[in-house]
Amino acid sequence: MHASEIYTNEMFNHFQKELMKSTCYIVNSVKNNGTYMSKLYLVENATLPENCRRKYRVTVFMYEKNECSCKKFEHSGMICKHIIHYIDKKQKIKILKSLIIGRWTMNGNKISGPLPYAPPAIGNDGASQPLRYGALCKSFQDLAASGSCSVSRFKYLMGVIDREKRYLKDNFADEERSERTHETKTQEDCQHDPIFEPPTSKTKGRKKTKRFKSGIEMTTSKIKIKPRKCNYYGEIGGEHDARNCPLREEHDRRNF
């Protein structure tokens, strides 16, 4: 029940598969494992012969943490069937918090509190137009999120944007034209740079002079095909041979 309350539908399906596999395993405790801070258990598949069983080590620590030698949880974020069988044997109701990753839970997309926002560092953003455009987009994201909260904020920001657009158009038109002219000249200079072919490398095998033809293409090509011949009557170029000759039975009866 606890897994169905915390995991998403996709991850709960994976949990059910591991739970069904865990029913085939048995758990044996290991005494005197050398430390008092943890307990060691050996989990093995009971459906296999004893000489073919692989024993997995499940370590239970005193500070609410479980580990398995298969390392499934470390790779995929889902607890393995060995730990699930240990939890079922100990009749525990809930899964430990250390075995639950937030991104696989139902509340994984929920964020507590506002998003941390910091204005982008200017640095060398004024070097080119794409960098300036990206810096402005990052700065306006927080402003757009705040302005969309109410109608009054939205109308105020739209008025400010229209007013600033007119101001930029009236006062910085010459700079815009000069910047476009400079970028156009830069692109024209780059167009005269020679473009060379990439270096070719010799591949393995013999050089192919002709392409390989398929079976259908071979039969429909102008290759001479040996005509069919009937061995009973010596007919060449007919529509049948000795296997499907219509007079085969009569020929066999005569020879018999």
Distance CA 256, CA 253 (A): 5
Q: Tell me, what amino acid is at 256?
A: F
Average of pLDDT values for 215-222?
69
Q: Which residues of 159-192 are buried (b: 16+ CB within 10 A; e: fewer)?
A: eeeeeeeeeeeeeeeeeeeeeeeeeeeeeeeeee
> With 70 as the cut, is the pLDDT of residue 221 above it?
no
> With 60 as the cut, is the pLDDT of residue 142 above it?
yes
Q: How much is the pLDDT for 192?
A: 60
Of all residues in the chain, the percent with pLDDT exceeding 90 is 0
Where is pLDDT greater, at 120 or 15? 15
> With 80 as the cut, is the pLDDT of residue 214 above it?
no
Q: How much is the pLDDT for 176?
A: 62
Bridge partners, residue 38, by sequence: 61
Q: Among 131-145, 181-195, 203-217, which stretch is predicted with the lowest mean pLDDT? A: 181-195
Where is pLDDT greater, at 132 or 99? 99
180 to 102, 159, 173, 184: CA distances (angstroms): 49, 28, 11, 6
Q: How much is the pLDDT for 201?
A: 65
Q: How much is the pLDDT for 66?
A: 85
> With 70 as the cut, is the pLDDT of residue 150 above it?
yes
Average of pLDDT values for 98-127?
63
Distance CA 183, CA 175 (A): 12
Bridge partners, residue 58, by sequence: 41, 68
Of all residues in the chain, the percent with pLDDT exceeding 70 is 70
Q: Which residues of 98-114 are buried (b: 16+ CB within 10 A; e: fewer)?
A: ebbeeebeeeeeeeeee
Write the pLDDT tens digit of every residue in 74-102.
888 888 888 888 888 887 878 888 888 88
Q: How much is the pLDDT for 146?
A: 81
> With 80 as the cut, is the pLDDT of residue 181 above it?
no
Q: How much is the pLDDT for 246?
A: 76
> With 60 as the cut, is the pLDDT of residue 190 above it?
no
Average of pLDDT values for 141-159?
85
Among candidate residues 251, 210, 255, the one with its CA nearest the CA of residue 230: 251
Among candidate residues 112, 74, 80, the one with its CA nearest the CA of residue 95: 80
Q: How much is the pLDDT for 121?
A: 55
Average of pLDDT values for 28-36?
72
DSSP codes joined into one string, 188-216: HHHHTS--PPPPP-PPSSPPPSSPPPPHH
Q: How much is the pLDDT for 116?
A: 53
Positions of E strands within 15-144 = 25-30, 38-45, 56-61, 65-68
Most confident of 148-152, 169-173, 198-202, 247-251: 148-152
